[in-house]
Structure 1
């Protein structure tokens, strides 16, 4: 008989439920570590056929670690699983694990393609650079706002121009300088690190054939190209090229019931960052 396992993963502990022949045969918890879970599976469910868990912060690590242990790990869409898990009268980790094990047994789930670590490294690089850029924008806006209180209006300008205006206006404001110059120094340091990561992204793009082809399109730069390549990974992941638009959430939603049939706005599913970059590129082309 085959065993089916549901894992409700959290940061510290993972709830585990094992089903066999339509019945739950074991339920418990263990540390959220794939190595520990692999030992538990071999002990409690030697004939395991599916190990199901939802998408989440630890899903990439769990998936690849369990696959490396030669275990049939399957990551499923959390939105799809939610509809089934909400049927339980009480929301607990144990009940969620039971529900996931039941989904694994009957095969009623939507498997998610888990990205490789190489793609995740590129996505992490892009996300880190974007975060630093947002921090520089927030710091510059705060500096402008604080200085307005004292009648010091900073003229329009970015980068070194902005820094020069701030230092000039604070030159005869010793008390205010003690407060705002540390913020300005933090702004300068963050800006330098953001530029450093941007150079890494550009270097990654130059070394990738797919990125170089994409960057030949007007409006597509290194960030958009690397984001797209890291998200798609391989063209073989899609049966048709038209499926990519739906996967990114750029196709319209449809509602049909009886005689009612209409299309709404785009679904906005998938990678919202990549979708925003593609919007910007399309705006440049138009």
Structure 2
């Protein structure tokens, strides 16, 4: 007889519920490790038909790892599942796992497409570069604001010109320079790392036929194409 498994996944532990023939036949908890979970499921549910869990921080890893273990992993929309799970009298991890197992059994869920690890690597690269660019902008704005207090106005310049102008303005103020230079050095280091990730992003996009095709659309650049 087919068995249906619900997993309520958290960073540390995963609550597991197994249903068969309309009844819960086992439930418990284990570490949030797909290999540990796979062994547990094989032991308690050798005829697993569906292994259901919600979208979340670990869902990509769980989906691919459980699928590699030969289990029928299904990732469902957490917002869609919320209505059903909220009907439980007591909101606990174990009850959420029971609710997910029930949804798996009746087939009342909205499956989501899980991106491949390669796609997630590309998105991670975009996110990391974007964050570094923002940090660089925040640092340059902070430098401008601090220097403005002392009547030192940095012109609206970018890149090496910004670094040069800051250095020129600090030339006659040794005490302020001791404060600003560490920020300027941090800005310079962040800018270099952002440029490195930018070059990698461009190289990856040039190797991707999908990105090259997307970039033929007016207004679609490397970042947008890679994030798609």
**How many angstroms does 1:62 deviate by?**
0.5
83-92 or 214-223, which deviates more: 214-223
Which structure 2 residue ranges, 5 or more long, are not aligned? none
Counterpart-to-counterpart distance in 2, 1:75 and 1:2: 19
**How many angstroms does 1:170 deviate by?**
1.5
Counterpart-to-counterpart distance in 2, 1:192 and 1:118: 25
**How many angstroms does 1:216 deviate by?**
2.7
181-190 or 215-224, which deviates more: 215-224
For the aligned residues, what is the CA RMSD? 1.2
2:64 corresponding residue in structure 1: 64
1:277 corresponding residue in structure 2: none
SS of equivalent residue, structure 2 residue 8: strand
2:75 corresponding residue in structure 1: 75
SS of equivalent residue, structure 2 residue 46: coil
Residue-by-residue CA offset, 1:74-97 (whole Å, 9 max, x unaligned):
000111111111112222111111
Written as runs of structure 1 = structure 2, the 5 A alignment for 1:89-238 is 89-228=89-228
**How many angstroms does 1:64 deviate by?**
0.6
TM-score by structure 2 length? 0.96
Which structure 1 residue ranges, 5 or more long, are not aligned? 229-286
1:55 corresponding residue in structure 2: 55
Counterpart-to-counterpart distance in 2, 1:142 and 1:82: 43
**How many angstroms does 1:118 deviate by?**
1.1
**How many angstroms does 1:149 deviate by?**
2.1
SS of equivalent residue, structure 2 residue 181: helix
**How many angstroms does 1:151 deviate by?**
2.2
Structure 1 residues 43 and 180: alpha-carbon distance in aligned structure 2, compared to 1, 3 A threshold = same
Q: Are 2:32 and 1:20 equivalent residues in the alignment?
A: no
TM-score by structure 1 length? 0.77
Greater RCO structure (CA 8 Å; 6+ sep): 2
Counterpart-to-counterpart distance in 2, 1:180 and 1:88: 57
**How many angstroms does 1:221 deviate by?**
1.6
Runs of 4+ displaced beyond 4 Å: none
**How many angstroms does 1:148 deviate by?**
2.0
